[in-house]
Amino acid sequence: MLSEATLARLLEFREQRDWRQFHTFRNLAVSLSLEAAELLEFTQWVPEAQMERVVAARKAEIAAEIADIAIYLQFLAHDLGLDLERCVRDKLAVNEARYPVDKARGRSTKYDRLD
């Protein structure tokens, strides 16, 4: 859900380097998954009691990984002709129906197991 100006810069960046040819659905999906996994590396082997300190100390690196995720996700949505903002709004509506506040508040139970 990047601004039109940022999306235009991303697309221009890709076009100037002739990288569109490599951005197939599979390659973008794989790249997105790999970048998400890299985000997990910041927490690997870190005890929960130290998590906040580690995250604070490595915030800039975490921001860079989040940016990579956002970039690949935006390329994927753009190339599929999807409006990422619309996708999120539609999914939020589904989740609001699946997880009514009175049943889901304070619970991590999956929607199909809520009382």
33-37, 80-84, 111-115: least confidently modelled range: 111-115
Per-residue pLDDT band at 1 (split at 50, 70, 90): confident
Residue 81 pLDDT > 90: yes
Backbone angles phi, psi at 50, to 5 degrees: -105, -5
Q: Which residue has the tokens 């599929």?
A: 80
Domain boundaries, the chain: 4-106
Q: Diameter of the chain by CA atoms?
A: 54
Give the C-alpha separation, 59 to 67, whole Å.
Answer: 12
Per-residue pLDDT band at 8 (split at 50, 70, 90): very high
- Pick among 3.40.50.720, 3.40.350.10, 1.10.287.1080, 3.40.1280.10: CATH of 4-106: 1.10.287.1080
Contact at 8 Å (CB) between 11 and 79? Answer: no
Average of per-residue pLDDT across 10-35: 98
Angle, CA of 12, 74 and 41, to the nearest 5°? 115
Give the C-alpha separation, 112 to 75, whole Å.
Answer: 32
| pTM of the entire predicted model | 0.90
